[in-house]
Amino acid sequence: MTMRVHRRDRPAISLVAKVGVMVTCLAATLAGCDQGTKVEATAQPVKFNKSLHDRLPEAVRSAGVIRVATDASYAPASYFGPDGRTIIGFEPDLAAALGQVLGVRFEFINVDFQSVLSRLAAHQVDVVISAMTDTTDREKQVDFINYFTAGTAILVQRGNPQAITNLKDLCGKTVAVEEGTVQVDLLQRNSRGCPGVPINIKTYPTNSDALLELRTGRAAAVLNDYPPAAFSASDTKTRGNYQLASDTQYEPGAYGVAIAKDRSDLRDVLRDALQQLIRNGVYAEVLHRWSVTEGALKTATINNGLVHG
């Protein structure tokens, strides 16, 4: 499966996000994003749904806030805007639209990806929205509301000095990757099949850390989901450093909003709110704004990632 992200040098920031999301940054790291021309809105206005609001757990209705853990180092899903404090991307925009449907605010909290599920288990947050692939192993811990689909891509230095085109070419080379991601497992499985020297897998707390290793030549490649890899290879601020090894996507699967298994009431109302956004076109408009429409799902599902591991 392949998916192309049609590049725009200046992705617009949603007005929905500006009015609907309050972002709390616990660990700020700056990632660039240019603002610019807005696309024509083709969706219906986001409408408050009282029946869905009334189905929210009482504690959420009283607080008026749904707390979201995210790793804001993964453009264009969730990352820091030009001010270094505001988290932007298609995930905050979708959350903002969900907030308008439900009459609550989504509050994003930046944490390392490796710790998002532990924070969820400790009830420090209500959900995780962080480009997290829904896998059978993760479903043992949490439930997922599926909202997007993507596979893994190989990102290399601009010019591809080591002539990497596929996973087999990574044997004997150092590859940087973010801790806790499905890409770590993918690399480990492929390393076992190397005929000679295995892949030297180096893990880092954030994707920004992994990209630094590639940019400075300490790693031959980084494995990312396809949209972030394509973003790094095409954004005006980073495309001089990176390129895709190929357009191939490995092991595509669905992203999911992670939620504790004992909160099925919140899970179901969020799924129904997302389905409303899909039905009225708001969901498609958000993905179009961020040039990731080929990752769209037709239906909001639960635990339907179809990824093993």
228: left (phi over 0), alpha (psi -120 to 50) or beta: alpha
Prediction pTM value: 0.85
Residue 2 pLDDT more than 50? no
In this predicted model, what pLDDT tens digit does every residue of 14-27 receive, in sequence order? 334 333 344 433 33
Fold classification of 151-251 is D-Maltodextrin-Binding Protein; domain 2 (3.40.190)
Residue 13 pLDDT more than 60? no
Count Cα neighbours of 164 within 13 Å in the Cβ-side half-sphere. Answer: 30
Q: Fold match between 15-150+254-302 and 151-251?
A: yes
Q: Cα(239)–Cα(14) distance, rounded to whole angstroms? A: 24
The domains of the chain are located at 15-150+254-302, 151-251
CATH number of this structure's domain 15-150+254-302, picked from the four choices 3.40.50.720, 3.40.190.10, 3.40.1160.10, 3.30.160.270: 3.40.190.10
N-to-C CA span, the chain: 19
In this predicted model, what pLDDT tens digit does every residue of 168-218 receive, in sequence order? 999 999 999 999 999 999 999 999 999 999 999 999 999 999 999 999 999
CB-based contacts of 118: which residues, under 8 Å, 6+ apart?
A: none
* DSSP at 296: -
Residue type present at position 194? C
In this predicted model, what pLDDT tens digit does every residue of 123-159 receive, in sequence order? 999 999 999 999 999 999 999 999 999 999 999 999 9
Rounded to 10 deg, the angle between the 282-289 and 90-102 helix axes is 160
